[in-house]
Amino acid sequence: PDLINQIAAGEVIERPSSVVKELVENSLDAGATRIEVDIEQGGARLIRVRDDGGGIGPDDLPLAVASHATSKIGSFDDLEHVASMGFRGEALASVASVARFALTSRLRDADSAFRLEVDGGRMQPVRPAQHPAGTSVEVRDLFFNVPARRKFLRAERTELAHIDDLLKSLSLARRSVEFRLSHNGKPLRLFRACPDQPSALARVAEVLGEGFPAQSLHIDHAAAGMQLSGWVGLPTASRAQADGQYFYVNGRLVRDRVVAHAVRQAYADVLFHGRHPAFVLYLELDPAGVDVNVHPAKHEVRFREQRLVHDFLFRSLHEALAQTRA
């Protein structure tokens, strides 16, 4: 099962940022309001994610890193199936099989904390530890026991850039949560919590750069059971515009051709040609109308009614942009 865990890990854990993604998503699931990500050497040496979420009790620590689905994998077909469905309940087990791993946690109302270490898949006994309410996951020496994978890690700053991008996109998705990122002991990012709509623009500005808000247009449009909100950048004569294109479907970052086309068309039609606008947009629609589980590690979606979504996006943006020209 350990080899299978390692192979499985290879499907989900491409690089340090994939680990960060799984850990931060767990923290969000645990109801964290503050999440701290500490990285050393681009994540090759250390990835640590701390949160102030609900925590894990001592009896549940081994369960959290135990493999469930992978223990049932008997063939390569099964493996492919699991990979394409996403590793529900498998992320920690996968990570723990390819790194020196530690999980330390204290339940919100408990007065003591506990720690579980897993060394390349070998689980150690649970021990008492010091930790505030919440959870820390430490992942050291990623892929130390999978040399072929370790070799594929890129330069420190490349891996860090992937992690930074990931945190930016997660922080725009969850604006009421505070995110911190540090690298080799140096604080790199602090995205403060922006619980309400007006202050949300502050986070957008932090992420996309200060140039963004002054030249942006607020979008808020609903029709045909869909809602589009967020901000789109406007062209500016003076300086290079902030860049960054973030599109969320029901809270998940998505890169999609239907979306990209609708946005491009709306801009091209109204304002200017050949430019790539910056935007942060949130589309909400009936979950039954969209399949987000195409591949968990990619940002793909499949809309049931592509045409409808495309036209809704195009119209919403077109209308808003046209007003700025009037």
Is position 88 an interface residue for ligand ADP (rule: CB under 6 A)? yes
How far apart are alpha carbons 65 and 117 in whole angstroms? 10
Tokens (6 digits) for 316: 């919403």
Residues 6 or more apart whose CB falls under 8 angstroms from that of 326 comprise none
The residue within the footprint of Mg ion, chosen from 26, 97, 136, 216 (CB under 5 A), is 26
Which C-beta is closer to Mg ion: that of 31 or that of 213? 31
Is position 57 an interface residue for ligand ADP (rule: CB under 6 A)? no
Q: For the CB of residue 89, give the shortest distance to Mg ion in the complex, in Å.
A: 7
User: From Mg ion, ligand ADP, none, which one binds at residue 121 (CB under 5 to 8 Å depending on kind)?
Assistant: none
Tell which positions 106-165 bind ligand ADP, by CB under 6 A.
135
Per-residue x/- track, 80-119, Mg ion (CB under 5 A)? -----------x----------------------------
Is position 313 an interface residue for ligand ADP (rule: CB under 6 A)? no
Is position 67 an interface residue for Mg ion (rule: CB under 5 A)? no
Q: For the CB of residue 82, give the shortest distance to Mg ion in the complex, in Å.
A: 14
Residue type, 95: V
User: How many amino acids of this chain bind ligand ADP (CB under 6 A)?
Assistant: 18
How far apart are alpha carbons 265 and 321 in whole angstroms? 12
User: From ligand ADP, Mg ion, none, which one binds at residue 27 (CB under 5 to 8 Å depending on kind)?
Assistant: ligand ADP
Count Cβ atoms below 10 Å from residue 289 Cβ, excluding itself.
15
Contact 93, 67 (CB under 8 A): yes
The residue within the footprint of ligand ADP, chosen from 18, 26, 171, 216 (CB under 6 A), is 26
Contact region for Mg ion (CB under 5 A) — 21-29, 97-105, 131-139, 296-304?
21-29
Where b means 16+ CB within 10 Å and e means fewer, 260-274 reads eebbbebbeebeeee
Q: For the CB of residue 8, give the shortest distance to Mg ion in the complex, in Å.
A: 14
Which positions touch ligand ADP (CB under 6 A)?
Answer: 22, 26-27, 29-30, 51, 53-56, 64, 88-93, 135
Which positions touch Mg ion (CB under 5 A)?
Answer: 26, 91
